[in-house]
Structure 1
């Protein structure tokens, strides 16, 4: 089981960030995964060290913004279903048959910084460096860092340093699962007029979004060159999504989820609106390049 070192633990204690096992919080068998709980007067978040994976965010006096599958498994080496998995250094399938969505979401990250800020928020920073498992999939030197700031809003700041010797293709997504009462009644705005690629069934056809998006069937769309802000409106209120990335992926498997062991009928209670740089918005990193992007989530 992945554990916190003494240095990690001192950082957590200094910032008022507590450490727990996923079995203490979510139950389940086995040792589970080590988790950080970040809490202050403005909000509360939970994340696993594996994958630097946010699994919960609740602003003070508000509701849970993130969906976590009731069937989620907290198992070393397996991505947790729900929350905000980090898909990098590639998104989706790989042309050489390597695992989909890269390795960032499955690898153990290290807590390298934690502090209570003067505005009442709390920031924790996690880091992933190359190891034997990553080199087998992506034989390049790198530093991945994710800074998570918890307050009345949640901000994720991703920094990728390419320290390898050759130019490499790169794409990533912050694969956010948002909790909604009923996916068929959730209105998604901020995509009107954008071109999207419909990938359901491998169609890969291009269309232009017209007006508000509401999902009434299995949906997997990659929106290109999108505005900074999208919203999800439900009877509970409005979730605000803001990012400086260029793509947005809207996904819900619909009744196909009945064949996904860790989703099933629960598909009705989430919608993914993922921000990132994927498909046409993907890029290449030359030696020494730094990729920095951010995502902020809030609720009103």
Structure 2
């Protein structure tokens, strides 16, 4: 897998005073974004938002100090793109967990300044001989990332073939918090969930979520906004979504 040259990326897609392509962790090329609202980094490897931090605030996204930053290995932190399956492959455990999108090199399709001086980058991934050995379908996958007073991420799937396919996926976001004992999560009250750490039992959430230990829960039929309240950082992270019917709450 080969990355385009930084000079060529900046010539075609650099945005003066807002977006430039630089060497990121492990030498992987990233789009470094800085505008009047925030700064962020987006890796072409994996179409992966590595960081997002509004000015004068703590980082919103967390990354592991033990993360790998090399081709062929997934990065741990930020917002990995899990696609075209989430978790283990449903029938073949030898295939990579969470699919291949997060370990593929994405192409830059567009960079632009949008309303309110926000910065937008759009990346694309298409089927190749390599992807078809893992998942025998033709497709176009696009991720659009808008960095402003909030962070917006849109994942769009197109079937460019003549046969139907099914897929699953996730924007596997890691959020920075002061400490699990200082947070509560709102918006999933009275929602049925699968407890992955209790033999997949189905349970119903009683009140806001407080975390004191390892958890891995898949909340079903969800479309409401969630909110992470952090009493130590004195901030609220609002998580709004459309087009997804489940929400995962998990701690690394």
TM-score by length of 1: 0.78
SS state of the match for residue 200, structure 1?
coil
Residues 210-233 of structure 1, C-alpha deviations (whole Å, 9 max, x = no match): 111011121110001113300111
Query: How far apart, CA to CA, are the structure 2 residues paired with 1:61 and 1:151?
Result: 14
1:44 equivalent among 39, 42, 48: 39
Question: Where does structure 1 lack aligned partners over 5 or more consecutive residues?
Answer: 24-30, 254-300
Correspondence 1:80 to 2:75: yes
Residue 11 of structure 1 contacts residue 113 of structure 1 at CA under 8 Å; is this kept in 2?
no
Gaps of 5+ in 2: none
Q: Does residue 14 of structure 1 match 2:9?
A: no
1:91–1:173 CA contact under 8 A, matched in 2: yes
1:184 deviates by 3.0
Identify the match of residue 180 of structure 2 among 165, 170, 183: 183
1:7: Cα distance to partner? 5.2
CA distance in 1, matches of 2:103, 2:112: 25
* DSSP 3-state at the match of 2:132: helix
Distance 1:238 1:156 in 2: 19
The DSSP-based 3-state class of the residue aligned with 2:13 is: helix
Structure-2 residue corresponding to 1:272: none
SS in 1 for 2:166: strand
Higher RCO (CA-CA < 8 Å; seq separation 6+)? 1
Per mean C-alpha deviation after superposition, the further-off stretch among 213-222 and 146-155 is 213-222
Q: Give yes or no for contact 1:190–1:227 (8 Å, CA) kept in 2.
A: no
- Whether 2:63 is the aligned partner of 1:61: answer no
CA RMSD of aligned residues (A): 1.6
Report the equivalent of 2:251. 252
Aligned-partner Cα distance in 2 for 1:246–1:184: 28
Structure 1 segments, 4+ long, off by >6 Å, are none
- Matched residue SS, 1:169: coil
2:128 pairs with 1:131: yes
Given that 2:109 and 2:123 are in contact with CA atoms closer than 8 Å, whether structure 1 keeps it comes out as yes
What CA deviation, in whole Å up to 9, does each residue of 1:145-169 have, x standing for no partner? Answer: 0010000100001110012332222
- For residues 166-210 of structure 1, the C-alpha deviation after alignment (integer angstroms, 9 at most, x for no partner) is 222211110000011112331011000111001116x11100101
Q: 1:189, 1:251 → 2: CA distance?
A: 14
Q: Tell me the distance in 2 between the aligned counterparts of 1:215 and 1:160.
A: 34
